[in-house]
Amino acid sequence: MTSSFHPPQRTLMGPGPSDVSPRVLQAMARPTIGHLDPVFVAFMDSVKELLQVAFQTANPLTMPVSGPGTVGMEACFVNLVQPGDTVIVCRNGVFGGRMRENVVRCGATPVVVDDPWGRAVDPEKLERALEEHPQAKLVAFVHAETSTGARSDAQLLASIAHRHGCLVIADCVTALGGIPLKVDEWGLDAVYSGSQKCLSCPPGLSPVTFGEAAVKVITGRSTPVQSWFSDMTLIMGYWGSAQRRSYHHTAPVNALYGLHEALLILREEGLENAWARHRRHHLALKAGLEALGLAFVVPEAERLPHLNSVSIPAGVDDAKVRGRLLEEYNLEIGAGLGELAGKVWRIGLMGHSCNLTNVLRCVGALEAILESEGAPIATGVALEAARAAFATA
Ligand SMILES: *Cc1c(COP(=O)(O)O)cnc(C)c1O
């Protein structure tokens, strides 16, 4: 390509990235300054404070690591898991599977507690696994399983783990900003998230937070963390006290401007209001999709508001419908992952993408395309159902 790249203006209603607010994009276009410039060092403290608000934590070790959510995941595992440890991994979708991979690569033994894809993690199964494996040191689970749309009870799972003397690693990549998440109140020891889901930033940053007990494990390790880049004892010198900041790697300066702005937007709206907004638009989308005749994969009580998985009607060409949505409506929805590939669509309502215009656009576009593809859906009722549900939600 010999000319500038101008991407199309899409509406992003998949599993992430979500639509980015113009405020965030404008913030990212501000001048790049040195990452050890005193002005930038003070700004980093502001990012940390805003993240503490979003995570509902007073943990001093709260910061965005430089990399996508997967790097935050890796940072939690390589720092807390030592060779020879036993780690209980709750797996009810793709990301639980990746947690297991991380445990293995840390030289530890995973004990997997499996639940069906599309269901929450079963607390009783976790309890039993902990009874059977008293040597376990850690429990890892996904709060919001974006691969299926299931929400697990993070508070309950953490309390069970703690009762058995285990620390907790929680994947809150899509939970942050979308559903209630209270790191301190729930006692989550290590949590990672991502910038491009309900925070509505471009991808590339992973907010993490470590509680006191987790920090004790990290600083008391008998073996060094095998990843130099993700070693928190080194990163603490960079993101820690502003007085003693020393070079570790070059932080993605402009990406952090974006995250800061997104966190400001979240604080202006208020966490409770943001959670309520996701729920209200989910109810409108649900009413519209169900009026079309599309069925949700996850039982109602375990559903995420910001990731809606629905079964693809029999005889409908998955890729063709998604292709037409993108081409004709500039609308992106997500495909199924793993064992749900080809069986479901994943419709995201995350952060800046979570608004009534998008709900109606998605329901209307799906109706038009499914009708023209000859799918057995109800027509002429879905938009009104979504609007009515929104009005009464
Ligand atoms: C998106 C996601 C990740 C991975 O984040 P990346 O930014 O793609 O690396 C991990 N866990 C969950 C639950 C996610 O939704």
Q: Is 210 left (phi over 0), alpha (psi -120 to 50) or beta?
A: beta
Residue 348: its pLDDT value, please?
98
Question: Could you tell me if 345 and 322 are in contact, meaning their C-beta atoms sit under 8 angstroms apart?
Answer: yes
Ligand 1 pocket: which of 18, 65, 66, 70 to mutate (most atoms within 8 A of CB) = 70
Dist. CA 243 → ligand 1 center (Å): 33
Dist. CA 172 → ligand 1 center (Å): 9
The pair of structure tokens assigned to 278 is: 């996701």
- Nearest Cα to 257, choosing from 53, 21, 14, 19? 21
Task: Tell me the CA distances in angstroms from 357 to 14, 363, 385, one per residue in order.
Answer: 16, 10, 14
Q: Judge if the beta carbon of residue 364 lies within 6 A of ligand 1.
A: no
Which domains does the chain possess? Answer: 22-268 (3.40.640.10), 271-392 (3.90.1150.10)
How is the beta sheet containing 307-311 ordered, strand by strand?
11-13, 331-335, 344-348, 307-311
Q: Judge if the beta carbon of residue 152 lies within 6 A of ligand 1.
A: no
Q: What are the pLDDT digits (tens) for 244-261?
A: 788 999 999 999 999 999
**Backbone angles phi and psi of 11, in degrees to 5:** -105, 120
Task: Tell me the CA distances in angstroms from 78 to 96, 229, 262, one per residue in order.
Answer: 16, 11, 28
Ligand 1 pocket: which of 76, 77, 145, 173 to mutate (most atoms within 8 A of CB) = 173
- Nearest Cα to 344, choosing from 315, 310, 295? 310
Dist. CA 132 → ligand 1 center (Å): 30
Q: Quick one: which atom of ligand 1 is closest to the CA of 194?
A: 7
First to last CA, the chain: 48
Q: Quick one: which atom of ligand 1 is closest to the CA of 142?
A: 13
Query: Bridge-partner residues for 63, per DSSP?
Result: 208
The pair of structure tokens assigned to 304 is: 């995420």
Residue 322: its pLDDT value, please?
98
Q: Is the pTM of this model over 0.95?
A: yes
Question: Could you tell me if 126 and 88 are in contact, meaning their C-beta atoms sit under 8 angstroms apart?
Answer: yes
Residue 337: Cβ within 10 Å count: 18
| Residue written as token pair 């509902």 | 56
Residue 245: its pLDDT value, please?
83
Ligand 1 pocket: which of 197, 208, 308 to mutate (most atoms within 8 A of CB) = 197
Q: What are the pLDDT digits (tens) for 74-128?
A: 999 999 999 999 999 999 999 999 999 999 999 999 999 999 999 999 999 999 9
- Nearest Cα to 262, choosing from 9, 83, 18? 18
Residue 241: its pLDDT value, please?
75
Question: Could you tell me if 233 and 75 are in contact, meaning their C-beta atoms sit under 8 angstroms apart?
Answer: no
Q: What is the C-alpha separation between 384 and 288, in angstroms, rounded?
A: 8
Q: Judge if the beta carbon of residue 14 lies within 6 A of ligand 1.
A: no
Query: Percent of the chain at pLDDT above 90?
Result: 96
Q: What is the C-alpha separation between 119 and 339, in angstroms, rounded?
A: 14
Query: Bridge-partner residues for 190, per DSSP?
Result: 169, 210
pLDDT at 4 over 80: yes
Dist. CA 194 → ligand 1 center (Å): 7
| Residue written as token pair 């993490």 | 208
Whose CA is closest to atom 3 on ligand 1?
Answer: 69
Q: What is the mean pLDDT of the chain?
A: 97
Q: What are the pLDDT digits (tens) for 331-365?
A: 999 999 999 999 999 999 999 999 999 999 999 99
Burial of 363 (0-12, 13-18, 19+ CB in 10 A): buried
Q: What are the pLDDT digits (tens) for 258-294?
A: 999 999 999 999 999 999 999 999 999 999 999 999 9
Task: Tell me the CA distances in angstroms from 74 to 43, 133, 219, 224, one per residue in order.
Answer: 26, 24, 17, 15
The pair of structure tokens assigned to 194 is: 């991502």
